[in-house]
Structure 1
Amino acid sequence: MSDVDQSQLFEFLCRMGDNTLVLGHRVSEWCGHAPVLEEDIALANTALDLIGQTQMWLGLAGEVEDKSRSADDLAMLRDVWDFRNVLLVEQPNGDFGQTMMRQFLFDAWHLAMLKALTGSCDDRIAAIAAKSVKEVQYHVERSGDTVVGLGDGTSESHRRMQKALDLLWPYVGEMFVADAVDEAMAKAGVAPDPATLRDAFDARVEAVLTDATLTIPDGGFAHKGGKTGFQHSEHLGHLLTQMQWLQRAYPGATW
């Protein structure tokens, strides 16, 4: 681990933590608004799982950075251009079907990534992945089952799920495109090359979408820029305004 560039390791950890933080907040927006009570509870639990994972990823990022910033500092005091999450997770909830399609597409990638990270040469990362993978295994099973139920449900639920897939599919590619940070992590044995996760992702997603009677859109276009911080959608700024307002309004407040 002494050969790993600590600034690049920090970037990688922020990517993992920002993905779960932003998606966790998005899912939490359903609290009290889900279609039925059981879904309200399930979505709240998913959000809590993701926020718990965020605490571990960003906590480790703060240690690696060594600038006395805690997980809370990294979550609540960074501006939008400092976030490193993929664009998929910051997309609006839309209707329930769109939320579950976004969840499934992320879960399928997330599980593949975490399974690979359990073999990381960094014992701290391997431990976080081993703990998180148990939760995400449930997430992907639940979101996949829901996608099937809605896709192969009524004509209206099928229409909405296909619309959600068409909308969100162009955001999938970013999760598998490597840059200098990914290459450095793969070379050091810290994390996998993102491209190596694509086969497992495609196998799971194609099986579920086939059962859901949904059609994967043609074309290989992929929106990019989120995980490098180069370009986020306008939605992330609005999300952070809501998520960070208390700490921004009352700096250093504790309870």
Structure 2
Amino acid sequence: MDLLLSTLQSLRAHALRFTLTSLGIVWGAFLLTFLTASMRGTEQHFTRELEEVGPKVVVLWPGSVLENRVGQRGARPVVLEREDVERLRSLRSIENASPDLKIWSQIVRAKGRTKLFAINGVGPEAGEIRNLRPAQGRFVSGLDVERNARVAFLGAVAAERLFGAAPAIGRRIQIESISFDVIGVAEAKHDQMIGVNGWDDWIVFVPWTAAQRWLLHSDEIMQISFAPLNRDASRSTIRETREILALHHDFAPDLDTALSYFD
């Protein structure tokens, strides 16, 4: 009883200090809860944005092989071939792979409008790898690739800038004076934080063989995009791709300058 009375007297004597201390504890607990929730929300937002690029996408592009004690003057470029795509597909750790040819700032005309867009030459596998879902029409097909077909799949913004609110399917566009028929329009990705070759909403996608024949006039494979079977095992999958490409292009698998990756 005496202890209780003593405690009450102490609280009365130090009421202000007790009140401020209590408020500090409550405020600290509130801030901790708020920051934890904010961090979790931010993490979920970044995860969603990364999955917009492609849930498991990895992109590789070639570099150069530096000979010992020679330096840049003796550098040998690594030139990717269409067979390299098949080599990657043969790996058990890879779900699928596609050539990924980027062509920046091309003049695209349609319906009296002239715009600048990036062009991507891709295969049908890129639709799933890079999360390119059709809102209208269809994506690039294997037959389109086989025939070097001059067809185009438009990002959402590209379609709106070229055709406004009018339907784009079946219309014709010109890429650097070469005619392509629109076969599909992608679902909008909106505020995409990360892009493989720019923001997907602003890209015009064509069959990679058509890009080589009609736009690049070259057999070069600039990049390869692929999806590992297991996203958590992407590091080991990248190591396997280095090993198989090193074998066919004559460089050491651990040579960092030979291949680069976006993971």
Q: TM-score, normalised by structure 2?
A: 0.25
More strand by share: 2
Which one has a bigger Cα radius of gyration?
Answer: 2
Q: TM-score, normalised by structure 1?
A: 0.25
